Amino acid sequence: MAAVSTAAACSFYLPPRAAWPVEPVPPALLSALSSEDELAQEASWLAGMIQCWANEEWAAQELLEVHAQLGEATGQAYARLRRQEGVSEMGDLVLGLATELMTSYDFMPTFTSAFEVSNKATELLMQRSGITCSCGDPGAIARYEAALAAEGQQ
């Protein structure tokens, strides 16, 4: 019996990787901020968005203060990463926020994690800058901003 090659034994065949027409995907960049005031405004906006997202996801009265603290911690971590670490790409932000929040925030009283928060923060920043996110809620930002305005925070 003759040996059958792997390519012949499979119902499909992929050409060698070198033959694939692959182009690198450019990184998604954070918005350029020209002043410390703009950074503070963006960090405050992000803090409010994370607070509203958490309130919407886990709507227990006992968690409202916890969610406010989580939002504040996220905003502070975001500002530090932008200011001190020079983070300018969304991918770096996801990892940086997760790392920063894991070491600076106690997630025990929440129903979320540092990675979930960093992913949500990055998703919201991408949506705000006009990048379409297939996994996101396109109406979330407007809903959260309206909730913050009603509370007098925005």
pLDDT, one tens digit per residue, over 15-49 is 676 666 777 778 889 999 999 999 999 999 999 99
Q: Which residue has the higher pLDDT, 8 or 52?
A: 52
pLDDT, one tens digit per residue, over 54-84 is 999 998 899 999 999 999 999 999 999 999 9
CB 46, CB 124: distance < 8 Å:
yes
Structure confidence at residue 141 as a pLDDT band (50, 70, 90): very high
Model pTM score: 0.82
Question: Measured between alpha carbons, how far is 10 from 4 in angstroms, rounded to an integer?
Answer: 10
Minimal CA–CA distance to 41: which of 154, 118, 119?
154
**Which amino acid is present at 16?**
P
